[in-house]
Structure 1
Amino acid sequence: MARLAVRTGVAVVLAVLAGTAARPATAHADNKRLNDSVVANVYTIQHHAGCTGNIKIDPLLQRAAEWHTDDVLENRDINGDIGSDGSTPQSRAVAAGFRGTVAETVAINPAVAINGIDILNQWYYDPAAFAIMSDCANTLMGVWSANSLDRSVVVAVYGKPAQT
């Protein structure tokens, strides 16, 4: 009877491990809190720079950010704005339906997770990224983040609406 219990236990453990191994390496956690905190931090940076408006989340820019996040996560040779298909932040925003001018910041952390401090340390002290974040004309924003077992990526797309 004891051998049967041990064999059953081993079979259960092996079944669980086999199910885990069959799953993709990308984690699909809800990163909404992290994404929203990036927008909140950019709002703070803009107001410290003298901006008086409120930055708003734009679903079209968020879609463009999602596309590039997934591309960067899946293609290890990408570490900036140009996609594996040669796309740019502007071309991705246009493909998502956004009318206006965009800029982008990308944060990559070689770990399963990334947090707001990791992101700000990459962007705040980079003069080009800081200039994008503190530009008062960037009134719209889309942020997306994703994780794999050894890499986390956050993409923020900043938008200046087209003049109508």
Structure 2
Amino acid sequence: MNAEEKWQAVCRCDVNYDGIFWYGVKSTGIFCNPSCKSRRPKKDNIVYFDSPREAIDAGYRVCKRCRPDLQSYDPNRLLIRHIKEILDHNACNPQKLQEVLRQIPMTSHHFNQLFKDHYGQTPHAYVLNRRLEKAASMLKTSSQSVLDIAMAAGFGSISSFYASFRRVYGVSPARYRELNL
């Protein structure tokens, strides 16, 4: 890869080149990933490196925005993982779940987007799936009524439980129980 191709990758903030090369800015003494969203430096002020160690050895400091010294920098990863554990623990307790979710230090839109980026589904869909998994397990192992199972799994009404269960499993909860005895 030549210097012009690297420059084009820097101009595009192309994430596909992260880990292939790094660039340092002579005027600031900072080095970045090609995908860094910081202001684009002048082309004449750039020097390219094959590794973060090479940039550090040349006297460049790590960019605090893109963190090129880390394999993958995702400041929200730990927060989202922690929230997923909270969802797992409270999926069947809607009141507690609402209480906990109100304490998340970000907007619901931002939280939904981050969760979807990390887990491939919205938090609502994730919780619904956890509730359905619990209900399906209880239908196989418990003699409780379908209504009691729906409530224990965190559903607010029997109709929403039936509709969700039928959509995911293709049969009613009672029929599912019959087939899995």
**TM-score, length-scaled by structure 2:** 0.23
Q: Decide which structure has greater helix share.
A: 2
Q: Which has the larger radius of gyration?
A: 2
Which has the higher relative contact order, 1 or 2, with Cα contacts under 8 A spaced 6 or more apart? 1
Q: Which has the larger strand fraction?
A: 1
- Normalised by the length of structure 1, the TM-score is 0.25
